[in-house]
Amino acid sequence: MAIDITTTSKKTAVSETAYSDLDVHFKRHPNTGDVVVRKDADAVKRAVRNIILTNTYERPFKPGFGGSIRDLLFELNTDRKLRKAKNRLKSMIELFEPRVSNVRVGINSIDANEIALEVNYSIRNGLPNQSIDMTLTRAR
């Protein structure tokens, strides 16, 4: 019986960064002059944050994209509406960000038009237990 050495000695090349995105502010890198690139957990965190803060119909050619949490800031006065907002954000994050799993959303009403938002998630093939904490207020 012969052993095939060629298939057992092959090494697979794995890149060091699993995920990378462009910075949304399009800042220049001081040394290279290229656009700054966000990598790994920072890239996923920025993408989840963009989903939360984007309103529906805000992106051209993607009318259903976004959590539309700002639309609900005047309406979050009952537990039913808070649960609706939590479920909406969770489903939008799971739908539009395939790099995350185990999404948990927590919303606490601070004031009549202000909420504290906490999103916990795990990155697939990456770091577990990541979180985003933010306070959203109505500007108008």
pLDDT tens-digit map of 81-129: 888 888 989 999 999 988 899 999 998 876 767 788 999 999 887 778 8
In this structure, is residue 6 part of a structural domain? no
CATH value at residue 118:
3.10.450.40
Q: Which domain holds residue 79?
A: 19-137
8 lies in some domain: no
Q: Does the residue 109 lie in any domain?
A: yes
Residue 65 lies in a domain: yes
Per-residue model confidence (pLDDT) at position 94: 92
Closest CA to 96 of 137, 56, 41, 38: 56
Q: CA–CA separation, 88 vs 24, rounded Å?
A: 24
Quick check: is 14 in a domain?
no
Global pTM?
Answer: 0.73
The amino acid sitting at 20 is S
pLDDT in tens, 31-77: 887 777 776 677 888 888 989 888 888 888 988 888 887 777 777 66
Q: How many domains does the chain have?
A: 1
Helix (H/G/I), strand (E/B), else coil: 126: coil
76 lies in some domain: yes
Q: Would the CA dihedral through 96, 99, 127, 49 be positive or negative?
A: negative
- Domain membership of residue 25 (yes or no) is yes
Angle at 85 between CA 55 and CA 129, to 5 degrees: 95
Question: Which two three-digit tokens encode residue 27?
Answer: 């800042």
